[in-house]
Amino acid sequence: MPLNIRDHHWVAVKVDLQALELIVYDCSIGATSSKEMDALMLPLQTMIPTMLRVSSQFEDIAQCLHKPRTYTRLLSVPQNSRGDCAVYTIKFIEFDMAGCTFDRLSDDMIPFYRMKMAVDIFCQDWDL
């Protein structure tokens, strides 16, 4: 899920149900301090286990859903130097869902990805 920080920075947050943790993909580690990230993640760490427990769809892990989950902020993801964190966030989610590595994600590729997203949206079949 995308998470907006102070209305100017985006990160991707993955809920890993097998590991029972949240994983933060941040393309600009220096934009948010660890202390600030801790405060931003606390509501998600508390809310997501509660939502899973209340849904009654995860009874096999229900006993693990009574305390806030941990989170990991990955330090090894590609870093952004041009201010395109929203595009990085979308691509982190897309690549992770496809099982791809982030090797093709860099500042040099972001203009291409931005243009491709615009074309994909423009050419979308709007059958209503």
Query: Among all chains, which residue has been given the structure tokens 């393309």?
Result: 27
Distance of alpha carbon 85 from alpha carbon 90, whole angstroms: 9
The 10s digit of each residue's pLDDT in 16-48 is 887 888 999 999 999 899 999 999 999 998 888
Residue 92 backbone phi and psi in degrees, to 5: -55, -45
CATH number at 2-122 = 3.40.395.10
| Tokens encoding 10 | 């985006």
pTM of the prediction?
A: 0.84
Could you write out the DSSP letters of every residue in 16-56?
Answer: ETTTTEEEEE-S-GGGS-HHHHHHHHHHHHHHHHHHHHHHT
Per domain, the residue ranges of the chain are 2-122
pLDDT at 126 (0 to 100): 66
pLDDT in tens, 71-127: 999 989 999 988 789 999 999 999 999 999 999 999 999 999 999 999 988 888 766
